Amino acid sequence: MKHQNKSALRRAIFASGLAACALAAPARPWSDPGRSPDARARTLVRQLTDAEKFQLIHSLFGEPDAAHKWSMPAGAIGSAGYVPGIPRLGIPAQQQSDAGLGVANPINVRPGDVATALPSGLATAASWDPKIAFAGGAMIGGEAWHKGFNVLLAGGVDLQRDPRNGRNFEYAGEDPLLAGTLVGETVRGIQSQHVLSTVKHYALNDQETARTTIDVRIGERAMRESDLLAFELAIARGRPGSVMCSYNKVNGDWACENDFLLNQVLKKDWRYPGFVMSDWGATHSAAKAANAGLDQESAAEVFDKEVYFDAPLKQALAHGEVSHARLDDMVTRILRSMFAVGLFDHPPQKGPVDVNANLAVAQHALEAGAVLLRNERTLLPLASDLHSIAVIGAHADKGVLAGGGSSMVIPRGGNAVTGLEPATWPGPVTYDPSSPLKAIRAAAGHARVEFASGDDPAAAAALARQAQVAVVFVQQWAAESFDAADLTLPDKQDALVAAVAKANPRTVVVLETNSPVAMPWLDRVGAVLEAWYPGNAGGQAIANLLFGRVNPSGRLPITWPRDLSQLPRPQLPGAVAAPGTPPPATADYAIEGADVGYRWFQRQPLQPLFPFGFGLSYTSFAQGAPQVAVHGGLPRVSVEVRNTGSRAGADVVQIYAQLPGNPIRRLAGFAKVTLAPGQTRTVEVPLEPRLLSEFDMAKRRWIIRGGSYAIYAGRSATDLSAAVRVQLPAQTL
């Protein structure tokens, strides 16, 4: 009897334990963070109704728009896009913000809708430092998370094929390895804050002129080894939750319904598990777009001719033109990315951010990415015992210029210069309120620092004549939706610089530009510092660089041409077309193909004004011959670097490879190293195997052909060591 009682008791305890486990098990298995994102997404999609699936595959415009009689959707916090959540299943809303250089909200700004503006993407690329890119991304992601956003339209990686492109400042230069690496790190930084990031604009959106109609023509191998390689590297490194397809056509098909780009390359060859969203206004069909690989249509009610991923797609499903399996795949990819980045498990929490820490990130980015292009007779850094300095031009008394369009950030402190045209899209023209004049005065100690607007070149020259040093700021505003007509600085600024330089040969020019500009006065000035668009702490960073508190270490991520005749397309039809002139129908990128930027200059051959990778320092460096060893069929390169000057500084070791039978050298690896005066360090530089390869069209794979490869080390694309020859075996990556 006692034994029976014990057995019954054990059975009762066991049964109660099972009941307790059943109660403890999650009612929503997709909420279990211990499961993979793929498993969670597959489980959840089975719970969705068709109506709920359609809710997830198109976003609403997240702002009011009077022109389209569009009101802000209920639940949206106000920005580029909004996808309502599904509370019954615990699916959070997608709050999407533009965020090329910071959390952008250029329209309908409400009190408090400000953010920290980074310097331009070219400044980050010019740092040649993945840590700078990651820190910038993490800062943007953190600010977005604290504002309530969980999706950022960031990660611009379109290559610079033309210095006139109005969006070059959003991107990362002309080289696929440098751009892919730095943009990948930016994306990785954003997503470290549980905010989903895109990469964009996929693909070959390399000009703004006629961007919504232009058909880009280029061969497959050439695009695989240039623009697509930049995307491939950025996606592999950053693992973005989404890829944004672009406005343009590629070889006859719209990018957002381009089966080759979306299905064959992105999802099949690269095995990309995330989702493809369209750019705002880039969707042109329902069945074709869905079958080609588009997963989410963006803000269609305002920007597309109709909401294709609603009634038209439902009709296509009913007629069997699109399968229900494809609809499930679209939704699964969206949910999978949301799980992978942490949108379910780490929802945004609105709250304050560490403003000073974030401004320090922006300041450090410019200090690492500003490029010293000229420094005759060591005019820079400015001496500490100066008694008079003239500061001239570009509203330097108030702030620093920012680029326009969807990436424009309403900066902390507001627009420092108001009333400029254009006041509406792609404006307003905005200046971050970080005054170089104020920072220079603080750094100059007891020196007299006076300012002239530059509107009157004669008055500016008179002021410069009375000063020991003149610092002239010049600017070039650029924005999304248009390209520059040429490389000339606007508003007669060349005449201003010439007048000041004639009055005072100790003239320093600080460039705040989108991209390269013509400098007819270059030989008459003492120093030139490219500060790009400097960002929310740009004034302080520029002063630190001018006075040597920071040693410039930026290197050009682009080739600086002497003039337009050196470009593959000297004419840019439509950029300044007269009213009524039809836009160009096509853009021929087959001219240079994969040989973008410095590789084009090698091929021609041409001597640029400043080569890719170039940048001066306040110290000097010596690089030893590269030491190359082959391990596992791939080369490993090490270079001894010595700081031979009297200041601490950073050098960038650039490794270029020349493949058998190909005369063009291509960047295959790089590393930035900081050294104290007299310090020597051996730097190991990993090489990217795809830059030692060719894309084999028959095998549809990257192939190292094998044979004798030439490896060069140096400090720019034209300042290189003697070649070191190394034999590599044939292999498939």
User: Coil, strand or helix: which one is 181?
Assistant: helix
Single-letter amino acid code for the residue at 572: L
SS (H, E, C) 361-398: HHHHHHHHHCEEEEEHHHCCCCCCCCCEEEEECCCCCC
Rounded distance between C-alpha atoms, residue 647 and residue 665, angstroms: 32
Q: Enumerate residues 6+ apart whose C-beta is below 8 A from 582.
A: none
Which residue is it, tokens 């977005």?
Answer: 144
**Number of Cα atoms under 13 Å in the Cβ half of residue 681:** 17
The β-bridge relationship of strands 81-83 and 60-61 is antiparallel
Planar angle of CA 238, 589, 303, nearest 5 degrees: 65
Q: Which residue, chain included where needed, has tokens 């000073």?
A: 356
According to DSSP, residue 58 is labeled B
Residues 253/227, Cβ–Cβ less than 8 Å: no
3-state secondary structure 210-253: CCCCCEEECCHHHHHCCHHHHHHHHHHHHCCCEEEECCCEECCE
Query: Length of the chain, please?
Result: 733
Q: Which of 583, 707, 678 is nearest to 207 (CA)?
A: 583
Q: E strands within 59-119?
A: 60-61, 81-83, 94-98
Beta strands in 644-723 (DSSP E): 649-658, 665-675, 680-685, 694-696, 701-704, 707-714
DSSP 8-state symbol, 261: I
- 3-state SS class at 61: strand
Structure tokens at 218: 């280029």
Assess contact for 373 and 529: CB atoms under 8 A. Answer: yes
Selection from 174, 186, 205, 180 nearest residue 557 by Cα: 174
| Separation CA 443–CA 449 (nearest Å) | 10
Number of other CB atoms surrounding residue 135 within 10 Å = 22
Q: Which helix (H) or strand (E) holds 538?
A: helix 538-546
Task: Say if residues 562 and 543 touch (Cβ distance below 8 Å).
Answer: no
C-alpha 494/C-alpha 475 separation (Å) is 11
Q: What angle do CA 182, 188, 192 make, to 5 degrees?
A: 145
Ordered DSSP codes for 401-443 = E--BSTT---BTT--SS-SPSP-STT----EES--HHHHHHHH
Helix (H, G, I), strand (E, B) or coil at 327: helix
Structure tokens at 668: 């295959």
Catalytic residue among 98, 129, 279, 483: 279
What gap in Å lies between CA 595 and CA 663, rounded to an integer?
A: 11
Q: Are strands 724-728 and 707-714 parallel, antiparallel or unpaired?
A: antiparallel
For this structure, is 523 an active site residue?
no
The two tokens of residue 533 are 């668009």
| Enzyme catalytic residues | 279
